[in-house]
Structure 1
Amino acid sequence: MLRTCVVVLLVVALCGATPLLRPTPGIRQWRPRVDGRIVGGSAVSISQYPWQLYFTMGNYMCGASIISNTWALSAAHCVDGYSTSQMLLRAGTSTRGSGGTTHNIASGYIHGSYSDPDYDIAVVQVSNAFSFNSNVQAVGLTSSEPSAGTSVTVTGWGATSSGGSASNTLLAVNVQIIDRNTCNGSYGYITSRMICAGVSGGGKDSCQGDSGGPLVTGSTQVGIVSFGEGCGLANYPGVYANVANLRSWIQQATGV
């Protein structure tokens, strides 16, 4: 039920970080989630979410977000097991797989404690820097966890239903942060490195292909698409890596 990851043959240069590796079955993108898309959302322009990136690893797709002119943030399960030569980021376009600018990956890290699905976070450094404009901007990173009930937005090109085909157009859906204890009642293994978001009764969610993409409030990222049971199921909200909890690791790995 994972939503995707990378590993690079690098020397581990910091505590708590591991060079990028390969995708692991289980998180939102690894089942039929290879091409998913937002469930219950609507088409949006990249200018509304200029930090959104289209991230491919061979035949697999994920999302990612720009956090500086040289670094991007994604999920560990998206990159785990892949070499940097297999990875490509596309910025500044609303259309999946075309337009904008492409960026090869020079290096990257996954969290040293990553164990699918916990600590599901990765950062990658691009070879050619992002050139900021109205369609390409860095997202802010939260240092405080949003409270239950906070309205948040998730974006991506993933499936509109579990096992569905990928969207050609960038989609967004508004959901709310779900209390961790409530979420844990559904899954049984929700840790402090995770936050949950959905709506009462289901029907709005991230899905296969959205893995690694940003969950934001305004222009601040609070989560990274990680996993979930199905897509948009009642009582099974989407689960996201908790940016606030992992903020110090991002800073240590990237300087951002």
Structure 2
Amino acid sequence: MKVLLLITLVSLLLGIGALAGQFDIAEDEVRIVGGNATTIEQFPYIAQLRIDNQFECGACIISPKWVLTAGHCTNGYTELIENITLRVGATEFDQTANEAITLANLYIHPLYNETTQDYDISILLLNNNLVFGNKINSIALPPPNLVLPAGTLATVAGWGTLTYLGALPTQLQEVTVPIITNEECALRYNDTNTYISDRNLCAGYDQGGRDTCSGDSGGPLTANGVLYGVVSGGIGCADAKYPGTYTNVSSVRSFITSVTGL
């Protein structure tokens, strides 16, 4: 899970008194891992999910009142939704100046498996509808049971660390990665405990170097204006052997529709 490493990293940083906004990051330094800095106007459907006002994960706006994130980001909080808030509409990592958006309910997929991370999807119902504009908007959902061809280029965005065990960014990052088949992905992970199922998408370059990292969980993987994946996990960050893994939104489309009507 991309988020577990983030918790450890943030705890360490807080222990030495460093804040994310204080990192000295050169303007030309690559972001996410092997990506680039971007702005919220390019990804108005991305949100920050915070627990007890601490950054935890990314999230994906799919309508004025519904948001998707990874199941592992909200696991254990079904009865504690008052601890979860969202921040939207800003490029910067530190969004505490923005109004916190509260939840009316959350729905983790009933088949979510904490051990294998299968069905790693959670749906958030907001207390109040978002007001859409150029910095806040929704992303389209794919049809059910669609398989993206290998080699399809998809873009992922988030505020996760810039390298494995590295620093957090000061602003939103993006990176483009190619889809690989689930069969190839399963072969890459066959010597690990990582489980690849039909509910997964995998993406990455054979040589590694570009990927999501810790804190990007729950964020969007998109192609041609459609949300095909939600960042789920992987081993390390940008490892040549281990591609990033995503929840295949198309494969859980019936669950999304049953909860949201979308």
Q: Is the 8 A contact 1:34 1:208 kept in 2?
A: no
Paired letter, 2:47:
L
Matched, 1:217 2:223: yes
Q: Is the 8 A contact 2:211 2:243 kept in 1?
A: yes
Secondary structure of the residue that 1:140 maps to in structure 2?
A: coil
The separation in 1 between residues aligned to 2:55 and 2:87, in whole angstroms, is: 14
Secondary structure of the residue that 1:31 maps to in structure 2?
A: helix
Matched, 1:119 2:119: yes
Query: Which runs of no fewer than 5 residues in structure 1 stay unpaired?
Result: 3-27
Query: Which runs of no fewer than 5 residues in structure 2 stay unpaired?
Result: 11-30
Deviation at 1:90, TM superposition (A): 0.7
The separation in 2 between residues aligned to 1:34 and 1:124, in whole angstroms, is: 25
Q: How does 1:236-251 map to 2 (within 5 A)?
A: 236-251=242-257
Deviation at 1:52, TM superposition (A): 0.5
Question: 1:81 — aligned with what?
Answer: 76
The separation in 1 between residues aligned to 2:133 and 2:36, in whole angstroms, is: 24
The separation in 1 between residues aligned to 2:92 and 2:156, in whole angstroms, is: 17
Using the size of structure 1 for normalisation, the TM-score is: 0.86
Deviation at 1:106, TM superposition (A): 1.0
Question: Structure 1 208/109 Cα, relative in aligned 2: closer, same or farther at 3 Å?
Answer: same
Q: Deviations over 1:70-117 (max 9, x none)?
A: 010000000001211111101111012325543111101000000031
Question: Structure 1 232/92 Cα, relative in aligned 2: closer, same or farther at 3 Å?
Answer: same
More helix by share: 2
Runs of 4+ in 1 over 6 A off after TM superposition: none
> What RMSD in Å do the two structures reach over aligned CA positions?
1.5
The separation in 2 between residues aligned to 1:228 and 1:198, in whole angstroms, is: 11
Q: Whose Rg is larger?
A: 2
Using the size of structure 2 for normalisation, the TM-score is: 0.84
Q: How does 1:141-180 map to 2 (within 5 A)?
A: 141-143=141-143, 144-180=146-182
The separation in 2 between residues aligned to 1:104 and 1:241, in whole angstroms, is: 24
Q: Deviations over 1:111-164 (max 9, x none)?
A: 000003100000001112110001111100112231110000000000111122
The separation in 1 between residues aligned to 2:9 and 2:150, in whole angstroms, is: 29
Deviation at 1:213, TM superposition (A): 0.4
Q: Which has the higher mean CA deviation after the structures are superposed, 56-65 or 120-129?
A: 56-65
Paired letter, 2:102:
N
- The count of aligned residue pairs is 230
Q: Deviations over 1:212-239 (max 9, x none)?
A: 0010002110000000010000021100
The separation in 2 between residues aligned to 1:33 and 1:236, in whole angstroms, is: 22
Matched, 1:47 2:34: no
